[in-house]
Structure 1
Amino acid sequence: MSAPTHTRPHPATRAGAAGRLPWWALALPVLAFTALLALILHPSDAHAAGGDPAITHLLERVQQLFAR
């Protein structure tokens, strides 16, 4: 005697607003890849930032906040 087989319901499609990626989900990785590729191709352009003490001080404060 054979047992009845049950079929699985079809999975929900990913159409609609919930299935779409926001614009920045594609733009940010492309931008990061482009910037890193530019640094690899032209390493002479990747010099250290100049002597602006305000930005340096701000970055040190941010680093201290994240270190806590």
Structure 2
Amino acid sequence: MSAVSSRPSVSRGPGTRTGLPWWAVALAVVAFVALLVVMTAPSPAHAVSASQGVAPVLEFLARLFGIAG
């Protein structure tokens, strides 16, 4: 059994765009360059202690919501 397949013709109006906007291409290029810079950066990786990372954020949130700590 053979099936006939055809795509319906889509009529495009005068203001219909088919390409990407310029900012979508620029955003992809910026993201690629940023990832490339991060990958090629010669800085050594160091572990961050909890006092430098999470604790100040938790203290700020406790003060913000008035939670005694």
TM-score by length of 1: 0.39
Length-normalised TM-score, structure 2: 0.38
Q: If each structure's helix is expressed as a fraction of its own residues, which one has the higher value?
A: 1
